């Protein structure tokens, strides 16, 4: 792929790569803007830019990640995701075949998630001005009237649920990027969760909050929830699902799986009375088979996440700071 | 006639003088006023003594020679727990008609009292005599105390130090105790925790689930349970202990498995000094430490062929020994087993259990029975640990008996709070010319420890009636003490870890610096974002420059390597270009993976750690690949030397970097690998290794001297708990004419850095703080 002057290349790419895969009645109009009917309730709107190395990894690539991530950001707010935009920044020299693979998996992901890619844009930049491909996706969804899902809604006594194993995405990325030979079985969990969330909301209509624990992992997300609602969260370490291979790789690297990114998991906070129903609904879904109640919301230690270890002591789960530096003097 | 009498009286008065004497220091709650009262009565002086804002104020009136004798005796005969920091005196006009006698007026309570709360003090000989006297009213009474001894800091809820503000408030004094309390001539005059069997705290013995056992005598029954191999939770002064008969190997093993403590040594409590001598070789200063009012655990050299259970301190040639420090302990050891394992009742780094209900809950499944009492513990306090090294008794863990006694500073200044480190956290509040160190708090990642820290921080400022103007924390972004400081909504300052080590040692010696600081420890956040640990910092509390560091090495897996020390060995060897042949550390279950991480530089932290170097060498020479408690590999490496050091060491070197010297250890690591392949014993390697370190640090000190002209050397950091290195290096430096400053009153480990942080904070407030030049 070469750098296109005056956007001619972009047009070519649109015609040859994007439209064949992403085409749909809204996009096909190729107007300067997408137009669609609004649904009742509030509008949810989000944007995220995906920069990941490597762009292909076990369990997915940057394309489905860009769709799933934005779909999940809408869904965890209680919205029904509908329309996405896709903006591409491509580095010259990116093989067309790779771009095509990426676009194709975006289309598949959108189809699976039941969302429409309604508008898009492409820029090709000189070598070195970006790393192969960056994708921005924005998304619009609708929150049905009367639904209130917010990270400020946590109440003492609520149950904290997790939809499945933690750390899969981050570990898959890390081990692939560094070419570590010893953990080839770890797959990213990249997935759209809006289907499961719809079932979950039906089963637990009084659900308080949902979040997808992406960057910073479960540790970062729970800390944010505790801070936003000024409550404490107490986890039970033994109940947190972690795949053996993820645990092994994390231990080897000295990384806490709680601080590792996920792309197809969510944390759910529901009133204790709805915990069983919520759990059952999640477990029926393919992305929630290993769902578990992992803790509860407490009045004690507002703003702080604490984890009960199998030995019975309570360890503070901090907001991850990026690099994990040795503390032991 | 009447006129003559009047004249006579006047001339009598004219020989009288009156002096006002202000005494500062630890002079409240230690029997100081009754002591003054008795002294004044003996010398036939009139006047009064009362508590005042900064100690006690005395006015005495009488003949000048009697007044002089009074002043001399004030210092020379002061009660054992009193610590006089200063005496100010001046003459004032005598009373016109003379005063009837000497009195102790009631405390008004309204005075802004800045009294120093005494630490908890071991039972005094007079009280031991009381509990041993079958005819006395305190015979076998487990809560006997007097103004010379007993609990203090751990029972204080708030100030002033008066019974209603202590956890003794729930016990109403009986008439006999009240009489003692009111009588200035009595040893228990104003002894706030005064108690007797009629009115004071009571023992109860409960089974494993907290049901009270109907026994004739709790102590006798507890002794029998211990003799029968049971694990007893015993509530003492600053918290609970878990106790077993130290001669019963099965019981000790059971305690280990239930507590989840694999190999970390247990301390023992013995009946008396003679019993201690039967177990250990004791020097005069160790004996003094054992029998001191602080009654710490003293790390003694264990005798060979002990009759004690082998799993008390496996693979360790030291034994932690303490004497009974409460009447309860004393009675138990007189009537139960002669030697008891007494370990803090907690899980690993949690704070020790202090409350009865908490004990029943948290120690369920560990203790077979609970020996408790109904005197609440307001503030938890672990046993202190000391060790005799390089000619002095040095604190390893500063807690019960020491906290919150002040460390004197060279200068006065504004109130600042140092928040300490992470795993051995302890706070330090500097106020005026004194530094008040808190008790040892523990691993701040533990939620209960964090809460305890929060509580102690507030308590320290409350009892010393001051609010810190500045909170000083470590620069490590992930320390919980950092997080705590930043959440308080007060001015804060982050200081470099090793700078705090250096400043702490200078402060303890009331030395203003600058000095050459050999600060050697496991890990501390550096100003360049890497992990430091083997540093030569030159400077004072205001500023320091990083003159040299150990050659940085890759630490695979960060803190995981603290347990899996073979990883450190691989990191250090990999960087040193040593191949795996003939080395056990390369044949660990995951060696291949760790080597891959090292090759690809993933999951490794660069560190100039000195502590980890000991771990690495222990693993390279095959001594230990997996540490079951912090420092185990380093301790065993030192012990392998058998107290001797080689004449010559391995090779080392120095490399000039733009901003500092590197002390090259890779040549030594290559030599050690070669020695292992050639079949050298760990004893031989350890002796050469220690000699090499002495060589490196002596040489870098000389280089620092040549550049700066400084002849004062500070040794600080956890590595200086290593006796062989410390004593040899100190001797070598002193023989080369250096003045060597080492920690004694505060720990050389991270348990002592809060003092350094606080004094650095004062430089900041003064505008002279410049930090560390990297
Ligand atoms: Fe340190
Ligand atoms: Mg996002
Ligand atoms: Zn006494
Ligand atoms: Zn009484």
C-alpha span between B390 and A21 (Å, rounded): 78
Cα separation values, A147 from A3, A65, A144, A204, A272, Å: 47, 27, 6, 12, 19
Whether chain A has a CB inside 8 Å of the CB on B113: the answer is no
Q: Are B531 and A325 a contacting pair at CB < 8 A?
A: yes
C-alpha span between A28 and A216 (Å, rounded): 38
Q: Are A327 and B718 a contacting pair at CB < 8 A?
A: no
The minimal CB distance from A254 to the residues B447, B600, B603 is found for B603
Q: Is residue A241 part of a domain?
A: yes
Q: Which residues of A touch B633 (CB under 8 A)?
A: none
Helix (H, G, I), strand (E, B) or coil at B611: helix
Q: Which residues of A touch B607 (CB under 8 A)?
A: 326
CA of A24 to the centre of ligand 4 (A): 91
Q: Are B478 and A321 a contacting pair at CB < 8 A?
A: yes
Closest-approaching ligand to the CA atom of B534:
1
Residues A298 and A227 in one domain: yes
Instruction: Check residue B4 and give its pLDDT.
Output: 47
Q: Is the distance from CB of B158 to CB of B117 less than 8 angstroms?
A: no
CA of B423 to the centre of ligand 1 (A): 10
Chain A nearest C-alpha distance from B770 (Å): 24
Q: Are A316 and B480 a contacting pair at CB < 8 A?
A: yes
Helix (H, G, I), strand (E, B) or coil at B492: strand
CA of B340 to the centre of ligand 3 (A): 24
Chain B nearest C-alpha distance from A58 (Å): 19
Radius of gyration for the alpha carbons in chain A, expressed in angstroms and rounded: 21
Residues A72 and A135 in one domain: yes
Query: Tell me, what DSSP letter sits at residue B198?
Result: T
Cα separation values, B480 from A222, A271, B423, Å: 17, 31, 10
C-alpha span between A209 and A270 (Å, rounded): 7
3-state secondary structure chain A: CCCCHHHHHHHHHHHHHHHHHHCCCCHHHCCCCCCCCCCCCEEEEEEEEECCCCCEECCEEHHHHHHHHHHHHHHCCCCEEEEEEEEEEEECCCCHHHHHHHHHHHHHHHHHHCCEEEEEEEEEECCCCCCCEEEEEEEEEEECCCCCCCCCCCCCCCEEEECCCCCHHHHHHHHHHCCCCCCCCCCCCCCCCHHHHHHHHHHCCCCCEEECCCCCHHHHHHHHHHHHHCCEEEEEHHHCCCCHHHHHHHHHHCCCHHHCCCCCCCEEEECHHHHHHHHHHHHCCHHHCCCEEEEEEECCCCCCEEEECCCCCEEEECCCCCCCCCCCC
Q: Are A180 and B562 a contacting pair at CB < 8 A?
A: no
φ/ψ (deg, to 5) at B276: -65, -40
Rounded to a whole number, what is the distance in angstroms from the first to the last CA of chain A? Answer: 52
CB pairs under 8 A between A and B: 113
Q: Is residue A324 part of a domain?
A: no
Q: Is the distance from CB of A68 to CB of A263 less than 8 angstroms?
A: yes
Q: Are B348 and A321 a contacting pair at CB < 8 A?
A: no
Q: Is the distance from CB of B444 to CB of B481 less than 8 angstroms?
A: yes
Residue B334 CB partners (closer than 8 Å, separation 6+):
B271
- Residue B401 pLDDT > 50: yes
Q: Which residues of B touch A252 (CB under 8 A)?
A: 557, 590, 593-594, 597, 603
Q: Are strands B416-418 and B428-431 parallel, antiparallel or unpaired?
A: antiparallel
Instruction: Check residue B503 and give its pLDDT.
Output: 98
Over the stretch B711-728, which tens digit does the pLDDT of each residue have?
999 999 999 999 999 999
Q: Are strands A56-57 and A60-61 parallel, antiparallel or unpaired?
A: antiparallel
For B390: left if phi > 0, alpha if psi spans -120 to 50, otherwise beta; the answer is left
Q: Is residue A57 part of a domain?
A: yes
Helix (H, G, I), strand (E, B) or coil at B301: strand
Residues A193 and A112 in one domain: no
- Residue B115 pLDDT > 70: no
Cα separation values, B515 from A295, B413, B497, B519, B540, Å: 52, 22, 17, 11, 7
How sure is the predictor about A3, in pLDDT bands with cuts at 50, 70 and 90? low
Q: What is the mean pLDDT of residues A130-154?
A: 96
How sure is the predictor about B112, in pLDDT bands with cuts at 50, 70 and 90? very low
Q: Is residue A137 part of a domain?
A: yes
Q: Are strands B470-474 and B416-418 parallel, antiparallel or unpaired?
A: parallel
- Residue A39 pLDDT > 70: yes
- Biggest alpha carbon–alpha carbon distance for chain B: 113
Residues A137 and A205 in one domain: no
Q: Is the preceding peptide bond at B514 cis, omega within 30 degrees of 0?
A: yes
How sure is the predictor about A50, in pLDDT bands with cuts at 50, 70 and 90? very high
Helix (H, G, I), strand (E, B) or coil at B620: helix
C-alpha span between B525 and A325 (Å, rounded): 8
Give the residue on B whose Cα is nearest the Cα of A304: B447
What stretches of B149-227 show up as alpha helix (H) in DSSP?
175-182, 218-227
How sure is the predictor about B588, in pLDDT bands with cuts at 50, 70 and 90? very high
Residues A136 and A247 in one domain: no
- Residue A6 pLDDT > 60: no
Radius of gyration for the alpha carbons in chain B, expressed in angstroms and rounded: 28
Q: What is the mean pLDDT of residues B274-298?
A: 96
C-alpha span between B50 and B480 (Å, rounded): 43
Kindly report the number of other CB atoms within 10 A of residue A306's CB atom. Answer: 21
- Of the candidates A224, A285, A266, the one whose C-alpha atom is nearest the C-alpha of residue A78 is A266
Q: What is the mean pLDDT of residues B529-541?
A: 97
Over the stretch A221-244, which tens digit does the pLDDT of each residue have?
999 999 999 999 999 999 999 999
Q: Are A254 and B558 a contacting pair at CB < 8 A?
A: yes
Kindly report the number of other CB atoms within 10 A of residue A37's CB atom. Answer: 5
Percentage of chain A beyond pLDDT 90 is 84
CA of B171 to the centre of ligand 4 (A): 9
Instruction: Check residue A27 and give its pLDDT.
Output: 85
Residues A115 and A192 in one domain: no
Over the stretch B485-518, which tens digit does the pLDDT of each residue have?
999 999 999 999 999 999 999 999 999 999 999 9
Q: Is residue A150 part of a domain?
A: no
Q: Is the distance from CB of A137 to CB of A72 less than 8 angstroms?
A: no
The minimal CB distance from B559 to the residues A180, A316, A327 is found for A327
Higher pLDDT residue, A8 or A292?
Answer: A292
Q: Is the preceding peptide bond at B407 cis, omega within 30 degrees of 0?
A: no
Residues A34 and A113 in one domain: yes
Chain A interface with B: residues with Cβ < 8 Å: 174, 178-182, 251-255, 301, 304, 306, 311-316, 318, 321, 323-329
Residue A291 CB partners (closer than 8 Å, separation 6+):
A161, A162, A163, A164, A279, A282, A283
C-alpha span between B682 and B618 (Å, rounded): 8
Instruction: Check residue B202 and give its pLDDT.
Output: 97
Q: What is the mean pLDDT of residues B763-773?
A: 96
- Of the candidates B510, B498, B396, B300, the one whose C-alpha atom is nearest the C-alpha of residue B748 is B396
**Which range of residues forms the domain containing residue A218?**
159-317
Q: Are A329 and B423 a contacting pair at CB < 8 A?
A: yes
CA of A49 to the centre of ligand 2 (A): 8
- Of the candidates B337, B334, B273, the one whose C-alpha atom is nearest the C-alpha of residue B300 is B273
Q: Are A316 and B260 a contacting pair at CB < 8 A?
A: no
C-alpha span between B551 and B529 (Å, rounded): 16
φ/ψ (deg, to 5) at B443: -75, 110
Residues A271 and A201 in one domain: yes
Over the stretch B72-103, which tens digit does the pLDDT of each residue have?
999 999 988 888 989 999 999 988 776 778 98
The minimal CB distance from A328 to the residues B448, B523, B593 is found for B523
User: With a CB-CB cutoff of 8 Å, which residues 444-463 of chain B face chain A?
Assistant: 444-448, 450
Instruction: Check residue B9 and give its pLDDT.
Output: 47
Specify the range with the lowest mean pLDDT, choosing from B67-71, B137-141, B345-349, B648-652.
Answer: B345-349
Q: Which residues of B touch A180 (CB under 8 A)?
A: 593, 596-597, 600, 602
Whether chain A has a CB inside 8 Å of the CB on B478: the answer is yes
DSSP B311-340: GGSTT-SEEEEE---SHHHHHHHHHS-SEE
Whether chain A has a CB inside 8 Å of the CB on B723: the answer is no
Torsion of CA B149, B155, B161, B166, to 10 degrees: -130
Instruction: Check residue A312 and give its pLDDT.
Output: 83
Kindly report the number of other CB atoms within 10 A of residue B120's CB atom. Answer: 29
The minimal CB distance from A327 to the residues B350, B478, B600 is found for B478
Instruction: Check residue B346 and give its pLDDT.
Output: 85
C-alpha span between B753 and B742 (Å, rounded): 13
Kindly report the number of other CB atoms within 10 A of residue A54's CB atom. Answer: 14
Chain A nearest C-alpha distance from B47 (Å): 54
- Residue B748 pLDDT > 70: yes
Whether chain A has a CB inside 8 Å of the CB on B576: the answer is no
Residues A24 and A136 in one domain: yes
Helix (H, G, I), strand (E, B) or coil at B240: strand
Last residue of a domain, one of A116, A143, A170: A143
Helix (H, G, I), strand (E, B) or coil at B258: helix
DSSP B640-669: HTTT---SS----EEEE-SSSEEEE-HHHH
C-alpha span between A161 and A282 (Å, rounded): 10
Q: Domains of chain B by range and CATH?
A: 2-103 (3.30.70.100), 203-373 (3.90.870.40), 412-512+750-773 (3.30.420.360)
Q: What is the arrangement of strands in the sheet containing A42-50, beginning at the earlier edge strand?
A: A42-50, A133-143, A80-91, A116-125
Instruction: Check residue A329 and give its pLDDT.
Output: 82
Residue B757 CB partners (closer than 8 Å, separation 6+):
B418, B419, B420, B428, B472, B473, B474, B495, B500, B503, B504
Q: Which residues of B touch A305 (CB under 8 A)?
A: none
Residues A133 and A171 in one domain: no
| Number of domains composing chain A | 2
Closest-approaching ligand to the CA atom of B202:
4
Cα separation values, B603 from A215, A324, B571, B586, Å: 18, 9, 11, 18
Residues of B assigned a catalytic role: 33, 51
Q: Are B597 and A180 a contacting pair at CB < 8 A?
A: yes
Q: Is the distance from CB of B441 to CB of B427 less than 8 angstroms?
A: yes
DSSP B505-542: HHHHTT----EEEEEEEEEEE-TTSSEEEEEEEEE-SS
Question: Residues B134, B140, B143, CA angle at the centre, nearest 5°?
Answer: 140
Q: Is residue A325 part of a domain?
A: no
Residues A33 and A175 in one domain: no
Helix orientation angle between B611-620 and B666-677, rounded to the nearest 10 degrees = 20
Q: Is the distance from CB of B463 to CB of B156 less than 8 angstroms?
A: yes
Q: Is residue A154 part of a domain?
A: no
Q: For this complex, say whether ipTM is above 0.90.
A: yes
Q: Is the distance from CB of B728 to CB of B694 less than 8 angstroms?
A: yes
Kindly report the number of other CB atoms within 10 A of residue B284's CB atom. Answer: 8
Q: Which residues of A touch B564 (CB under 8 A)?
A: none
Q: What is the CATH number of the domain that holds A216?
A: 3.90.650.10
- Residue A156 pLDDT > 50: yes
Residues A122 and A217 in one domain: no
Over the stretch B655-707, which tens digit does the pLDDT of each residue have?
999 999 999 999 999 999 999 999 999 999 999 999 999 999 999 999 999 99
Q: What is the CATH number of the domain that holds A132?
A: 3.30.1330.10
CA of B112 to the centre of ligand 3 (A): 28
Last residue of a domain, one of A118, A143, A168: A143
Q: Are A301 and B630 a contacting pair at CB < 8 A?
A: no
Q: Is residue A191 part of a domain?
A: yes
The mean pLDDT value of chain B amounts to 93
């Amino acid at each position: 792929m070469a750098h296109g002057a005056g956007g001619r290349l972009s047009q070519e790419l649109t015609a040859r790569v994007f439209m064949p895969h992403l085409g749909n009645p809204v996009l096909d109009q190729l107007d300067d803007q997408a137009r669609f009917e609004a649904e009742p309730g509030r509008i949810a709107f989000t944007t995220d830019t995906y920069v990941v190395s490597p762009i292909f990894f076990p369990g997915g690539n940057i394309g489905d990640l860009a769709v799933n991530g934005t779909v999940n950001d809408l869904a965890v707010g209680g919205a029904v995701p509908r329309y996405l935009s896709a903006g591409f920044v491509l580095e010259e020299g990116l093989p067309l075949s790779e771009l095509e693979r990426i676009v194709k998996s975006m289309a598949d992901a959108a189809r699976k998630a039941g969302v429409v890619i309604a508008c898009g844009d492409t820029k090709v930049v000189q070598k070195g001005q970006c790393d192969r491909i960056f994708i921005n996706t924005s998304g619009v969804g609708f929150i049905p009237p009367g639904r209130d899902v917010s990270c400020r809604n946590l109440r003492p006594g609520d149950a904290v649920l997790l939809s499945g194993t933690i750390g899969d995405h981050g570990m898959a990325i890390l081990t692939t990027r560094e070419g570590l030979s010893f953990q080839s079985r770890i797959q990213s969990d990249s997935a759209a969760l809006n289907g499961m969330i719809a079932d979950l909301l039906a089963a637990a209509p009084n659900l308080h909050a949902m979040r997808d624990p992406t960057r910073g992992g479960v540790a970062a997300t729970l800390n944010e929830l505790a801070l936003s609602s000024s409550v404490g969260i107490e986890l039970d370490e033994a109940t947190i699902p972690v795949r053996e291979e993820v645990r092994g790789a994390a231990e080897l690297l000295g990384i806490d799986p709680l601080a590792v990114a996920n792309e197809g998991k969510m944390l759910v906070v529901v009133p204790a009375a709805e915990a069983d129903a919520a759990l059952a609904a999640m477990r029926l879904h393919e992305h929630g088979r290993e769902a578990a109640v992992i803790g509860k919301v407490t009045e004690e230690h507002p703003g702080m996440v604490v984890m009960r270890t199998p030995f019975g002591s309570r360890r503070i789960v901090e907001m991850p700071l990026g690099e994990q530096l040795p503390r032991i003097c | 006639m009447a006129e003559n009498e009047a004249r006579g009286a006047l001339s009598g008065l004219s020989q009288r003088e009156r002096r006002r004497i202000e005494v500062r220091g630890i002079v409240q709650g230690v029997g100081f006023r009754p002591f003054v009262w008795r002294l004044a009565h003996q010398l036939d002086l009139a006047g009064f003594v009362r508590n005042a804002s900064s100690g006690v104020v005395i006015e005495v009136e009488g003949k000048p020679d009697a007044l002089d004798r009074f002043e001399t005796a004030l210092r020379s005969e002061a009660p054992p727990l009193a610590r006089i920091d200063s005496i100010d005196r001046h003459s004032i006009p005598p009373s016109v008609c003379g005063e009837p006698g000497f009195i102790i007026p009631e405390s008004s309570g309204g005075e802004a009292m800045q009294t120093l709360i005494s630490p908890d003090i071991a039972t005094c000989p007079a009280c031991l005599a009381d509990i041993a006297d079958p005819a006395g009213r305190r015979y076998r009474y487990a809560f006997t105390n007097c103004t010379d001894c007993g609990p203090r800091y751990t029972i204080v809820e708030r100030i002033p130090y008066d019974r209603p503000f202590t956890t003794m408030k729930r016990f109403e004094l009986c008439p006999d105790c009240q009489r003692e309390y009111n009588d200035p001539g009595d040893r228990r005059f104003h002894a706030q925790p005064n108690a007797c069997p009629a009115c004071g705290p009571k023992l109860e013995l409960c089974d494993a689930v907290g049901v009270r056992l109907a026994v004739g005598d709790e102590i006798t029954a507890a002794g029998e349970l211990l003799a029968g191999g049971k694990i007893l939770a015993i509530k003492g002064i600053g918290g609970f202990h878990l106790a077993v008969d130290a001669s019963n190997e099965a019981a000790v093993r059971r305690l280990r498995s239930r507590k989840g403590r694999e190999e970390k040594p247990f301390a023992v409590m013995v009946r008396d000094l003679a019993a201690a001598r039967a177990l250990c070789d004791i020097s005069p200063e160790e004996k003094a430490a054992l029998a001191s009012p602080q009654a710490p655990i003293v790390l003694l050299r264990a005798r060979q062929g002990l009759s004690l259970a082998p799993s008390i301190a496996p693979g360790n040639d030291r034994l932690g020994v303490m004497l009974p420090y409460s009447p309860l302990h004393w009675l138990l050891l007189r009537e139960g087993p002669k030697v008891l394992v007494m370990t803090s009742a907690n899980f690993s780094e949690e704070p020790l259990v202090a409350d009865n209900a908490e004990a029943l809950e948290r120690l369920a499944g560990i203790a077979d029975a609970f020996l408790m009492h109904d005197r609440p513990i307001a503030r938890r306090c672990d046993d202190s640990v000391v060790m005799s090294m390089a000619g002095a008794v040095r604190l390893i863990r500063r807690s019960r008996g020491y906290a919150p006694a002040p460390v004197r500073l060279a200068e006065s200044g504004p109130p600042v709070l140092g928040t300490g480190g992470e795993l051995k956290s302890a706070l330090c509040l500097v106020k005026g010319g004194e530094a008040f160190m808190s008790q040892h708090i523990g691993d701040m990642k533990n939620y209960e420890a964090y809460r305890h820290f929060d509580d102690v921080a507030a308590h320290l400022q409350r009892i010393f009636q001051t609010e810190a103007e500045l909170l000083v924390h470590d620069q490590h972004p992930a320390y919980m003490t950092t997080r705590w400081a930043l959440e308080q909504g007060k001015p804060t300052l982050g200081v470099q870890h090793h700078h705090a080590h250096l400043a702490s040692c200078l402060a303890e010696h009331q030395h203003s610096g600058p000095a050459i600081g050999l600060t050697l420890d496991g890990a501390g956040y550096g100003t360049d974002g890497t992990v430091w640990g083997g540093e030569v910092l030159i400077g004072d509390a205001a500023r320091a420059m990083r003159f040299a560091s150990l050659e940085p090495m890759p630490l695979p897996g960060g803190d995981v390597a603290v347990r899996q020390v073979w990883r450190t060995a691989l990191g250090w060897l990999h960087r040193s270009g040593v191949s795996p042949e003939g080395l056990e550390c390369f044949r660990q279950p995951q060696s291949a993976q760790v080597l891959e991480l090292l090759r690809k530089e993933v999951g490794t932290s660069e560190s100039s750690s000195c502590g980890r170097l000991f771990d690495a060498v222990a693993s390279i020479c095959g001594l230990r690949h997996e540490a079951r408690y912090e420092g185990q590999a380093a301790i065993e490496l030192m012990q392998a030397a058998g107290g001797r050091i080689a004449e010559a060491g391995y090779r080392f070197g120095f490399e000039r970097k733009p901003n500092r010297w590197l002390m090259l250890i890779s040549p030594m690591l290559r030599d050690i690998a070669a020695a292992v392949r050639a079949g050298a014993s760990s004893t031989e390697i350890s002796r050469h290794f220690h000699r090499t370190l002495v060589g490196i640090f002596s040489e870098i000190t000389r280089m620092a001297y040549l550049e700066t002209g400084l002849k004062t050397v500070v040794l600080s950091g956890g590595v200086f708990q290593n006796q062989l290195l410390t004593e040899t290096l100190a001797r070598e430096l002193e023989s080369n004419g250096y003045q060597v400053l080492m920690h004694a009153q505060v720990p050389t480990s991270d348990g002592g850095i809060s003092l350094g942080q606080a004094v650095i904070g004062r430089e900041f407030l003064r505008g002279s703080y410049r930090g560390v030049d990297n």
